[in-house]
Each structure stands twice: as structure tokens, then as C-alpha cells.
Amino acid sequence: MVRRFEDRVFLLLVVAATVLFLWLVATFFDAILWALVAAIILAPLQARLVRWRPEQPGSMAVLTLLVLITLVIVPLMVLASFLLQEAAYLYQGIQTGKINFYDYFDQMRHALPRWGRLQLNRLGVGNLDALRDKLGAGLSSSFQTLAAQALNLGQQAASFLLSLIVMLYLTFFLLKDGKRLSSLVIGAVPLQPEHRRALAQKFAAVVRATIKGNMAVAVVQGGLGGITFALLGIGSAMLWGVMMAFMSLIPAVGSGLVWVPVAIYFFATGAVAKGAILVFCGVFVIGLVDNLLRPILVGRDTQMPDYMVLISTLGGLELFGVSGLIVGPVIAAFFLSVWAIFIEDRARLASFDTEAQG
């Protein structure tokens, strides 16, 4: 009886220590998450380098980290600087009147047939003056929010730099001691060995699928969309390309949310050739990237239903921000895996009981 009480007290201490530690490092949640993601993605490269120099795992981890910095982090920083310039140019154009969304709407309204204008009036958007007021208030509020966010980012530059350093530091040790650390963590989980292995494999598979599949497809679609916009003479093409890349991460929505309204504008204003080119590229170039690349990069055995990916991605973005792109699908994958294991165990127990009764 005493030993059982002591075991319960010790288990309570384990839970309390774990909760306190998680609370302590919660500030660096994003850094820890992305370090874990980077280590999982780069693990095959690290393994090849270690086979090449087995006596120098630390040096090979540094080399792998340099690959990450050179091919991912530096290009992202350069892209971010260009995007800030594009956003500043767009904001300046709106402020000076060079970019006037009211005129674009007015052109589309006059290009519509009479029944189309009547439908706009019924929807309450046919009155240009009223719409101008609504759009003006919306744009003013949006740019005030963006300005506040930009100021906030500037004030938190030191925090971002610290998080980046923590992420790279953790990535180094996860690459260097990844196998040992993963064995310790998996071995400490109070589950049956087959359940531990299945959940660990599912976690790694979903992370790789999300990065290799969703992210890679988003980059390709965004790049193609930006190039298409630039060739058609649409301003701030890089900014729109990034928006298409972001939208492509959301299943059943995709980059069409960006290019379809532009194509409609082209058709409505008489630029039929540009509209046709944009629709062709959107459907047969940008749209087919998902169907062609995702099965190759992800593999059909690791994919979840589209509706589950959509719900988990949107929920992850709402709760965790950008990190939700990873956290959301991982939580959904764990949900499906745990229930699959549970159903399988129930079926096995039912079969065993039937045989025993027979």
C-alpha cells in the first residue's frame, strides 16, 4: 500500500515537473517547433554525411545547418525584404491615387450588362459612392492594422533574432544527437511499444508530408503565379505571388482566390486576351501543380482526407499562427492514428473473445 502511494506521488511529481518545464519554454514554442521540423526534414542529409564522416557527427551537423541557412533562411530573409518594398510601393500607390480600387470597380460596373448592374444594386454594391465609403473605411482600417503590425515587428526584432538563434541552436543538437534523443523520448512514453512506434512514425511522416508536399507545392504555385502576373503587367507581382503561395496551403480554396478575381476584372474590362491567358495558366499550370507534385513529394500513404487537412490547417492557423500550418495537420494526424489504433485493438479483442467463447 505504501509503495503504491509513493508511486502515485512520484507520478504526480513527473507530471508537475513536465507541466512546469513546458510552461517555462512556452515562450520559445515556435523556435522549438521549427527546430524539430528542420531536424526531421534534414535527418536524411545528416545521416548521409555521418556515413561519410562517422567520427565527426558534430561537424556534419554544422554542415547540415549551413545548408539550412544557405538554402532556406537567407532566401526567406531576402524575400521578406523584397515583400516589404512591394507592400510599401502598393501602399504609396494607394495613398497617392495611382492605384485606385474605386476606378477598377467602376470600370467593371460599366462593363457589365444592364441585368448585372441591377444585381449589384440588389446586393447593395451598385451605389459607387456608398461602396467608396465602405472601401475607404475598410482600407484605412486595414492599413492602420498593417502599420501597427509593422511597428510591432520592428520593436520585436530582437525577440525574433533570439528565437532564430534558439531554433538554430536546438536544430544543431537535434541533428547531432537526434537518434539518441528520439529513443529516450519514445521509450519514456507510457504506451505499448507498437503504439509508440506507430505514433512516432506518423508524426515524422506528417511533418515531412506537410513540409515537402504543402510547402513545396505552395512555393511552386506562388512562383508560377507571380511570374504569370508579372508577364501580364500586373503590379506588385511578387506580393500577389506570395499571397497565392499562402492560399495554396489551404485545400479546397487554393490560389484561385487571388487570380480568379483578377481574371474576372480582365474579362469585364475588355482585356479578353489577358483574362484568357490568366485562366489558362491558373487552371492548367498553377492548378495542375498540386495534382502532379503532391503525390510525388508526399506519397499517397501519408495523406489525410482533404476536408481533414482543410479543417486542421484553418484551426491551426487560428490557434497557433503560422506554426499552425504544422501543428494543425499533426494534431489531426494524431487524432486519426489514435482512433485507428483504438479501433484495431477493439477489433482484435472482439475477435479474441469470439474465439474464446467458441
pLDDT in tens, 282-333: 888 887 777 777 666 655 555 677 777 778 878 888 888 778 877 888 888 7
Which residues have C-beta within 8 Å of that of residue 326, sequence separation ≥ 6?
A: 33, 34, 37, 207, 210, 211, 316
- Confidence at residue 83, expressed as pLDDT on a 0 to 100 scale: 76
pLDDT in tens, 50-66: 888 888 888 888 999 99
Burial of 223 (0-12, 13-18, 19+ CB in 10 A): middle
Residue in the block written with cell 494526424: 333
Whether 132 shows a pLDDT value over 70: the answer reads no
Local confidence band at 151 (pLDDT 50, 70, 90 cut-offs): low
Cα angle, residue 263 at apex, residues 230 and 130 outer, rounded to 5°: 110
Q: Among 68-82, 113-127, 222-236, 238-252, where is mean pLDDT lowest?
A: 113-127
- Residue predicted with more confidence, 328 or 70: 70
Local confidence band at 170 (pLDDT 50, 70, 90 cut-offs): very high
Which of 114-123, 129-138, 179-188 tops mean pLDDT? 179-188
